[in-house]
Amino acid sequence: MTQPETTVQRTLPDNMRIGLFIPCYIDLIYPEVGIATLQLLERFGLNVGYPLNQTCCGQPMSNSGDEKNAQPAERLFVENFKEFDCIVGPAGSCVKQVRCHFDRLEQTEDVKHVRQNTYELVEFLHDILKVESFPWAEFRHSVAIHNSCSSIRGLSIAKPSEIMGVPFDKTANLLSKVKGIVVVPVDRPDDCCGFGGTFCVTDEAVSARMGIEKAHDHVRHGAEYVVSPDMSCLMHQHGIAQRASLDLKYIHVAQVLNGGPY
């Protein structure tokens, strides 16, 4: 069910500078995801810098069509990251925002550079570093994978069920290299969980309905953990599962691949 194994590990130039993009909600609510991402990148000997002036990529505003209030944050993002060769963030929807939705900014060389070189963590590990093993990682649990819609349909992290062709799932591919892990299949792997950014509050009833079905799908297949490259979906799903007293734990794929922190 995954893409053919990659065999050649690409050697990045020693002087290559990686900008660590930690989205605002990870900074404030899930710092452990940021720590896991940084430590994981450092394990590969990469030169990782974290621009301290980063705030938000502008997605909540941009997603609502509010370009006026989104653009100052978008411009700041470009300022913060323009000096880096590669920008890596552990959040599919935020990376999609940078890559696909910075289209209303004036397309300067800096903007183009940042848009073209911003990667979501899984695709960076899978497609750029072509990581073959995570010898330090062990996770003896059954997990359901939740690839976010932005990651699947925006960043091609997995094949969407609507598109015909050979199935692949880069997240599953990376997780399969972790000792002890059991990935359980689910009924609706790429049906939206209902987070959708501001959608989850402006369309609360529909969002909650989508979320609870997602959680039941995970429970039904015996998952102990839900693992995702997108913590924002999990924030919503976790809130839903807690309210419904469902016994599910939610962690980011970086935590599993790095072996914590949890």
Partner 1 sequence: MSTAKQVDPAAAAELFIIHDQIHEPMHDRFLWATMQRRHAEAAAVPEWEELREIASKIKEHTLTHLDHYLEEFEANATKRGAHVHWAVDAADHNQIVYSILQDHGVTDLIKSKSMLQEECQMTPFLQQRGIKVIESDLGERIQQLDGQPPSHIVFPCIHKTREDVAQLFARTIGTDPNNEDPHFLTEEMRNNARPRFLAAGAGMTGGNFAIAETGTFMVCTNEGNADIGAAVPPLHIASVGIEKMIPRVEDMGVFLRLLARSAEGAPLTQYSSHFTGPRKGGELHIVLVDNGRSRRLGMPEFWHSLKCIRCGACMNTCPVYRRSGGLAYGATYSGPIGVILDPTFDEFKYSELPFHSSLCGSCSEVCPVKIDISDQILKWRRVMAGKGYLPLAKKLSFAVAGHVFAHPEEYHVVEQAAEPAMSYAPHFLLFNRTLNPWVRDRELPQPAKKSFREWYLANRSKHGNVQQ
- Residues numbered 94 to 133 that lie near partner 1 (CB under 8 A) are 101, 104
12-20, 110-118, 134-142, 168-176 -> range binding partner 1 (CB under 8 A): 12-20
Query: Sign of the C-alpha dihedral, residues 116, 122, 123, 126?
Result: positive
**Under the criterion CB under 8 A, does residue 55 sit at the interface with partner 1?**
yes
**Under the criterion CB under 8 A, does residue 254 sit at the interface with partner 1?**
no
Question: Where would I find the H helices in 58-167?
Answer: 59-63, 67-81, 92-101, 109-116, 121-123, 149
Report how many helices (DSSP H) and strands (DSSP E) the chain contains, helices first: 13, 8
Q: Are 10 and 130 in contact (CB under 8 A)?
A: yes
**Smallest distance from the beta carbon of 75 to partner 1, in angstroms?**
8
**Under the criterion CB under 8 A, does residue 258 sit at the interface with partner 1?**
no
Among 2, 21, 40, 73, binds partner 1 (CB under 8 A): 73
What residues form DSSP beta bridges with 228?
252
Helix pair angle (231-243, 204-220), 10° resolution: 80
**Under the criterion CB under 8 A, does residue 136 sit at the interface with partner 1?**
no
Q: How many residues bind partner 1 (CB under 8 A)?
A: 86
42-50, 110-118, 126-134, 168-176 -> range binding partner 1 (CB under 8 A): 42-50
**Under the criterion CB under 8 A, does residue 230 sit at the interface with partner 1?**
no
Segment 146 to 165, residues that bind partner 1, using CB under 8 A: 149-150, 152-154, 160-165
